[in-house]
Amino acid sequence: MKYYIGIDLGGTNIKAGVVSEDFEIVAKATCKTNLPRPAEDICKDMAAVALEAVDKAGLSLDDIEAVGIGTPGTANSADGIIEYSNNLGFLDFHVVELMKTFIDKPCYVENDANAAAYGEYVAGAAKGANNAVCITLGTGVGGGIIIDGKIYSGSNFAGAEIGHTVIDPNGPQCTCGRCGCFEVFSSATGLVRMTKEAMEADKTSVMWKMNEEDGKVSARTAFNAMRAGDKAGKEVVDKYINYLACGIANTINIFQPDILCIGGGVCNEGDPLLLPLKEQVAKEVYTRNSEKNSEIVIAKLGNDAGIIGAAFLGLSR
């Protein structure tokens, strides 16, 4: 049996897993990222967490084939450099070179959304597809594109920024500087913003009571209110799905993937999200009269997608 190490480097946590050749995580370890601090210190902790996972698996480095790292920001996968990550404070960080001084194995680095998409491709909801797009609805809207079984990252390693395509040029300003990005409307952050706006417009909404009980407005508030028969909650959900369908239809029109999978906490809503979304997208895609259209599915691997995808980055080369 062959084993691989996958590292998911986040702004809050560093997670590492030992993954078998049949895509099963056999052991995991984690530690806090503790930003801000030097990139070299973070790399040292990535190696330490990876070695802890190997020990938990009852293995040694002799059993490990390769190491993969998924990181926020622009990752030059050809040269092993994190060129820029605003979340981590990295600029032209030679992460692969340094990692190999701690763990002397083949090492690869890739953008975290790309790594998660690759995880879904090799072992999750997009398994068996030739071309796939994965969209993650979280704090922002992350994207990963697989074409002919390979990660597509563009000529400058910054491709697949699906969240920063504009769907309403008169919309709110995005953190990237543009107005009306897909991310502004379809991220969990955008859903919370629209929920709060709807609450301010309707002081009788049951969402106010939910806010008091939960102590906050979350991405679930509008969906829970809709289920309770609240008019304002349903309007928020309908609005959210409409924007999400627009962005997904745009993505399908460009790439025409076999499978488009969506992940992130919002997707835990299941059919109340997925069924109307599919119906709306079917009306909007250019190929609506085609016999074969992209299948929209919910991601399967959850928080493990990044670890599994990173572990097998060598396969994508």
- Check residue 290 and give its pLDDT: 85
**Structure pTM?**
0.91
Give pLDDT tens digits for 44-102: 999 999 999 999 999 999 999 999 999 999 999 999 999 999 889 999 999 999 999 99
- Check residue 291 and give its pLDDT: 84
Note down pLDDT in tens along the chain; length 317 residues: 999 999 999 989 999 999 999 999 999 999 999 999 999 999 999 999 999 999 999 999 999 999 999 999 999 999 999 999 988 999 999 999 999 999 999 999 999 999 999 999 999 999 999 999 999 998 899 999 999 999 999 999 999 999 999 999 999 999 889 999 999 999 999 999 999 999 999 999 999 999 999 999 999 999 999 999 999 999 999 999 999 999 999 999 999 999 999 999 899 999 999 999 999 999 999 998 888 899 999 999 998 999 999 999 998 77
- Check residue 50 and give its pLDDT: 98
**CATH numbers and ranges of domains, the chain:** 3-122+304-316 (3.30.420.40), 129-299 (3.30.420.40)
CA diameter of the chain: 64
- Check residue 263 and give its pLDDT: 94
List of residues 6+ apart from 263 with CB closer than 8 A? 116, 120, 134, 135, 136, 137, 298, 299, 301, 302, 305
